[in-house]
Chain A
């Protein structure tokens, strides 16, 4: 068992290094729609409870209706749906990136409690890379700094939930966290699909053209803000 855990840790480490290497040397796709579609698919994949939440519930014996009722997302763990819809594209991507960092830390802590093998961590990292590419595409920047891969690292907010003292409470807490994770990814997917729909409706405005137009202005993403679904609070 200990050996398996060691092997798993080693494998995880190797995969991380490989991923870092790929990200460091890989180039982002310059095709907006292709990237957006990829992000949507990744979000769809990660919102599926059968990938993490369901196995966790089964493994921890939390399937009773009483416990299911209390396996719920805690407020503050993830940005709400309203908040995500209100964000500009730039801020949305930034929020996603930050939240993915939190998710990665939680997944790492949960590794022992999850059935193996799970690709959740790899999925999160891949999603983060595409978010970076999308951010780069939207900014239209050739700045090497901007081209750096967005590593879903420790963000300023939110902080990871404090682990409860007892194992039972930790089980419920993790369960709620995973439920929130899937909800968050589902909402993120919907927002990303909203991008595609609005882009389709305003086909006359090519994102690149719009962004180039915006780049000539002082505001970084004016068109993006204009396209934000529920308006953008003045800064």
Chain B
């Protein structure tokens, strides 16, 4: 809580000044009167009136003091008491001292932190003369009667009110909000930005909410509202951010006519009502209300005022901030940027640039700075004094080069600040190339004739002096000086191929741009191949490249050339070379294209005085050796029960990621037996144990694994190793040794199978003979070898039984004229009679058919002997061929009758 007297001090101060002046004027009179006022005057305040200012939430008091002496004025003290809700509840006591004139109406205000609408206030006061002219004792007057200030009277009949309405507060301050509920039964809930809050009950129907250190939420204010049965009531707290003091306040002029003062206003206060900015100049006493929140223009007067004392005042409802500067007009000239900057007369090495400036005053000059930039860097800088037009000749320029000219100016009389820069680009004209192209060659001999591929490097921009359009290649046959061959190769080609004969040649290469040719590069070619049988040496690369050295062969060498391929793994080779002087015998070859794990081959040439190149040395190396990336494909052979042979002859050692130093042969056995002789026990990454054999000769590409156990499973792996490590250990192959005797079995079984096979072939080829021999269609007991064997071994008396000796029990012939295969053609008649004769001596029998002209007869005979043996034979056919034949005799039907006599002999005939 604070008094309004503390707040608005300006009017009060003015009032105090006037009052003092008035008192001084009355001093003589007062001296006179002091003699009169010899007794204390108990003055009582009268006509105390209390009013409410809801907008400012102030109680305004107005009263008079009855002064019996009409000519006196006194210094008095007014003690004011303010109570809330009831007179006895005093919440404020303040002594207000002032000088009172006759019949003067006195005013005093008090700002309440609690909205005045939410409480009845009571005010009373008493007075005491506090003037030195009045002798002690000084006594307080009687209290005035309590005056009531009740804003609730003016409220309507709404059930709920919330106060204060539309409160404007500064961020960080405290605010008290209250509500009045007319309905005691109503349950009121209050929210601050959607958050339910609880207040403090001040009276039966009044609740207050105190918000400390309020913060800015949004420009449209912080919402506080309460809700009962009806519509919500609320207030909007317009929170302003604290007005900041303007920073970086400065002024300058561009033309000595208008001053422009700028500043950084700081953060926005966040309210729709913006703070005002006023510029005040103390020497002239003038001020202006600024139109912008960060800039203000000030018109320079014609009275040649040089010094200015500016005060910038920023002000809003809550605060007033000010900053001051003392400004000398001449010292704050910031010229406008020059204009119309143009290059003219631009040659290959010179250019003239011109520009214009805005004049300042009538006789002032500007100091202009001309900068020449090439590739973004300032390479020339010149200061020129300019009044209106500036001009400068730039020299020592490079041909065909883009430059930027920049100009800025400052006030020459007193330098304070450069103007803004203006810039203009221009490009100088071309000139002939200044340096010969760097040329190298690759010579191959086809059928004894040299084919030369010429390579050259593009000229650098510095030496090209323009766009290279083409290259001229002049081939001069040294053996026939009159013959010249000229080739023109359009840019940007960087090589060409020339086929020569076995003469000696001198080749000249020149680069041409639009202005002319470059100096020529010369290369000499011999018609015969040089010495290529140079042993290749090895070297190690470093981070800087490949360091190498060589031994000169000739004392008259004019230089050396080292050549190599940047990407040897990719074809065709991109040939690179490096020229070295005659005194160099070592160098470091570096290239951004060099990669670890790639083998680079270098050839060092010595250049003779005749520009002829002779191969000095060959070197191979890796920038950094890597472990082999893959293992060789291993063939396994000669597997026996105790050994097998491994070979990897296809593995190329030249194209690996490092120099192959040898191979490791890994062998794992399932049984985990001891490592054999020459192997050493080692642990793999998976902690498995295996045996390792080291082959330290990279050219050895076979290995015999010996001393194995028969019928045992093994795993093996062959991996190369370099100085960086070995190859991947992830592709073990399995092998199982065979049984120890299996090879013997193979030696036996194979011939037997072969023999059987041969027998089978023979049998097949001689099947007919065999059949006839072993199982003829009609066996002949007399020809049976079996019988002869039996006869020979067991019973020499055994003989072949003669069928004539047997009397068959019955012979039956069955005709089947209805059989499906019985066919009678034409008028043929079925046989009227058949007769089977007895078996003849040669076991034949005869069947007689009558009227059987042209009939084909088939027979079937079966027999049975007394001994129980039985047999059957489907056999003979015959055709009655003679038309007149009426009897068909089957005389060759042989029945394999042994010596036993059959008991039954059935003969079946069918004819058709």
Which residues on A are within 8 Å of B, measured CB to CB? 1-3, 59-64, 66-67, 70, 112-113, 165-169, 171-172
> In this assembly, does B191 line the interface, its C-beta being within 8 Å of a C-beta of chain A?
yes
Q: Shortest distance in angstroms between B632's beta carbon and chain A's nearest beta carbon?
A: 72
Decide if B227 is an interface residue (CB 8 Å cutoff): yes
CA of A51 to CA of B217, assembled, Å = 23
Looking at the complex, which one of A2, A70, A112, A166 makes contact with B236 (CB distance below 8 Å)? A166
* Given contacts A61-B217, A62-B223, A166 and B232 within 8 Å (CB-CB): no
Contact check, A67 vs B232: say whether CB atoms are below 8 A apart.
yes
Cβ of B390 within 8 Å of any chain A Cβ, yes or no, is no
Q: Mark B180-209, 1 if CB is under 8 A from A, else 0.
A: 000000000001011000000000000000
Q: Given A166-B165, A168-B225, decide whether A59 and B220 contact each other with a Cβ distance below 8 A.
A: yes
Residue from the set A59, A66, A70, A165 with the largest chain B CB neighbour count within 10 Å: A66
A selection of 26 A-B contacts at a CB cut-off of 8 Å is A1-B272, A59-B218, A60-B223, A61-B193, A61-B217, A61-B218, A61-B220, A61-B222, A62-B223, A64-B191, A66-B227, A66-B232, A67-B225, A70-B231, A70-B232, A113-B220, A166-B165, A167-B166, A167-B235, A168-B225, A168-B233, A168-B234, A169-B234, A171-B220, A172-B231, A172-B232
B194 touches A60 (CB 8 A): no
- B interface secondary structure, majority: loop
- List of B residues within 8 angstroms of A62 by Cβ: 223
Binary interface profile of B, 598-612, with partner A (CB < 8 Å = 1, else 0)? 000000000000000
Residues of A within 8 A of B221 (CB): 61, 167
Q: Which residues of B contact A60 (CB under 8 A)?
A: 220, 223
Question: B194 touching A166 by the CB < 8 A rule?
Answer: no
**Number of residue pairs across A and B with beta carbons under 8 Å?**
60
Q: How far is the CA of A60 from the CA of B222 in the complex (A)?
A: 9
Q: How far is the CB of B292 from chain A (nearest CB, A)?
A: 7
**Complex: chain A residue closest to B225, CB-CB:** A168
- Give the most central of B194, B217, B218, B227: most A CB within 10 Å: B194
B849 to chain A, nearest CB (A): 110
Q: Are A168 and B236 in contact (CB under 8 A)?
A: yes
Q: With an 8 A cutoff between CB atoms, is B274 at the interface?
A: yes
Q: Once the chains are docked, how many angstroms separate the CA of A62 from the CA of B222?
A: 10
> Is A167 a contact of B194 with CB atoms below 8 Å?
no
Other than A66-B232, A166-B236, A168-B165, give 14 A-B pairs with Cβ distance below 8 A. A1-B272, A2-B274, A59-B220, A61-B221, A61-B222, A64-B194, A113-B220, A166-B234, A167-B166, A168-B225, A168-B233, A168-B236, A169-B234, A171-B223
Do B235 and A166 touch (CB < 8 A)?
yes
CB of B213, distance to nearest CB on chain A (Å): 19
A166 near B223 with CB under 8 A, answer: no
Tell me the nearest residue of chain A to B236, going by C-beta: A167
Cβ-neighbour of B194 out of A3, A63, A165 (below 8 A): A63
- Specify the chain A residue showing the minimal Cβ separation from B291: A3
Whether A67 touches B223, Cβ cut-off 8 Å, given contacts A61-B193, A61-B218, A166-B235, is yes
With both beta carbons as reference points, the residue of chain A lying nearest to B231 in the complex is identified as: A70
CB distance from A68 to the nearest CB of B (A): 10
Which A residues lie within 8 Å of B236 (CB)?
Answer: 166-168, 171
Task: Give B243 Cβ to nearest chain A Cβ, in Å.
Answer: 14
**Complex Cα distance A112/B223, Å?**
18
| Residues of chain A lying within 8 A (CB to CB) of residue B162 | 168
Chain B 686-718 per-residue mask, 1 if CB under 8 angstroms from chain A, else 0: 000000000000000000000000000000000
Task: Scan residues 145-189 of chain B and give those whose CB is less than 8 A from a CB of chain A.
Answer: 162, 165-166
A60–B236 alpha-carbon span in the complex (Å)? 10
The distance from the CB of A157 to the nearest CB of chain B, in whole angstroms, is 25
A199→B530 CA distance, assembly (Å): 103
Q: In the complex, A62 Cα to B194 Cα: how many Å?
A: 9
Nearest 7 A/B pairs, CB to CB: A64-B194, A168-B234, A167-B236, A166-B165, A167-B166, A60-B220, A168-B236
A168 touches B231 (CB 8 A): no
B residues near A3, Cβ cutoff 8 Å: 292
Q: Is the CB of B227 within 8 A of A1?
A: no
- B274–A1 contact, CB under 8 A? yes
Nearest to B268 among chain A residues (CB) is A1
Contact with A along B209-221 (1 / 0, CB 8 A): 0000000011011
A62, A64, A168 — most chain B CB neighbours (10 Å):
A168
CB distance from B118 to the nearest CB of A (A): 15
Closest chain B CB from A70 CB (angstroms): 6
Cβ–Cβ contact A66 & B191, under 8 A: yes
Residue-wise interface mask of B (499-513) relative to A, using a CB-CB cutoff of 8 A (1 in contact, 0 not): 000000000000000
Chain A's closest residue to B219 (CB) is A59
Distance in angstroms between the alpha carbons of A59 and B292 in the assembled complex: 26
Docked CA distance A166–B166 (Å): 7
- Residues 805-842 of chain B: 1 if any A CB is under 8 Å from the residue's CB, otherwise 0? 00000000000000000000000000000000000000
Within 8 Å CB of B232, what residues of A? 66-67, 70, 172
Cα–Cα, bound, A70→B218 (Å) = 21
| C-alpha gap A120/B85 in the complex (Å) | 51
Output the residue of B165, B221, B232, B272 with the most chain A CB within 10 A: B232
Q: How far is the CA of A2 from the CA of B293 in the complex (A)?
A: 10
Which residue of chain B has the shortest Cβ distance to A113 in the bound complex? B220
- Minimum Cβ distance to chain A for residue B665 (Å): 78
| B235: nearest chain-A partner, CB-CB | A168
* CB-based nearest A residue for B232: A70
C-alpha spacing A165/B162, complex, angstroms: 13
List chain B residues, Cβ under 8 A from A70. 231-232
A168 to B160, CA, bound (A): 14
Distance between Cα atoms of A171 and B225 in the complex (Å):
12
Which A residues are in CB contact (< 8 Å) with B166?
166-167
- Give the one of A63, A165, A169 with max B CB within 10 A: A169
In the complex where A61-B217, A66-B191, A66-B232 touch, is A168 in contact with B223 (Cβ < 8 A)?
yes
What residues on B are CB-neighbors of A63 within 8 Å?
194
A63 CA / B217 CA spacing, docked (Å): 14
> Which chain B residues lie closer than 8 Å to A67 at the CB level?
223, 225, 232
User: Which residue on chain B has the smallest CB distance to residue A65?
Assistant: B194
CB distance from A60 to the nearest CB of B (A): 5
Query: From B234, which residue of chain A is reached at the shortest CB distance?
Result: A168
The CA of A171 and the CA of B193, in the complex, are separated in Å by 14
Interchain CB contact under 8 A, B193 and A112? no
User: Which residues on A sit within 8 Å (CB–CB) of B234?
Assistant: 166, 168-169
CA A175 – CA B644 in complex, angstroms? Answer: 96
Query: Taking A66-B232, A70-B232, A168-B235 as contacts, is the C-beta distance between A61 and B191 under 8 angstroms?
Result: no
Expressed in whole angstroms, the Cα–Cα distance for A151 and B757 within the complex equals 119
Distance from B260 Cβ to chain A, minimum over Cβ atoms (Å) = 17
CB distance from A92 to the nearest CB of B (A): 33
Cα–Cα distance between A1 and B223 once the two chains are bound (Å): 23
Q: Which residues of B contact A64 (CB under 8 A)?
A: 191, 193-194
Give the complex CA separation of A168 and B193 in angstroms: 12
B136 → chain A closest CB, angstroms: 54
Please give me the residue from chain B that is nearest to A64 by CB atom: B194
Q: CA of A172 to CA of B227 in the docked complex: distance in angstroms? A: 13
A113 to B227, CA, bound (A): 24
The CA of A70 and the CA of B223, in the complex, are separated in Å by 14
Expressed in whole angstroms, the Cα–Cα distance for A63 and B194 within the complex equals: 8
**Distance to closest chain A CB from B71 (angstroms):** 50
Minimum CB–CB distance for A167 against chain B, Å = 4
Chain A residues near B272 (CB, 8 Å)?
1, 112
Output the least CB separation between B211 and chain A (Å). 15
A61's partner among B165, B223, B238 (CB-CB below 8 A) is B223
What A residues does B231 contact at CB under 8 A?
Answer: 70, 172
Q: Which residue of A lies closest to B224 (CB)?
A: A168
Q: How far is the CA of A2 from the CA of B194 in the complex (A)?
A: 31
Given known pairs A166-B235, A167-B166, the reply for A66 and B225 (CB within 8 Å) is: yes
Give bound CA distance, A175 to B385, whole Å: 67
Kindly list chain B residues whose C-beta atoms are within 8 Å of the C-beta of A112.
272
Q: Determine whether the beta carbon of A167 is less than 8 Å from that of B165.
A: yes
> Closest residue of chain B to A59, judged by CB?
B220
How far is the CB of A118 from the nearest CB of chain B, in Å? Answer: 15
Query: A169 — which chain B residues lie within 8 A by C-beta?
Result: 233-234
Distance of B845 from chain A, by nearest CB (Å): 116
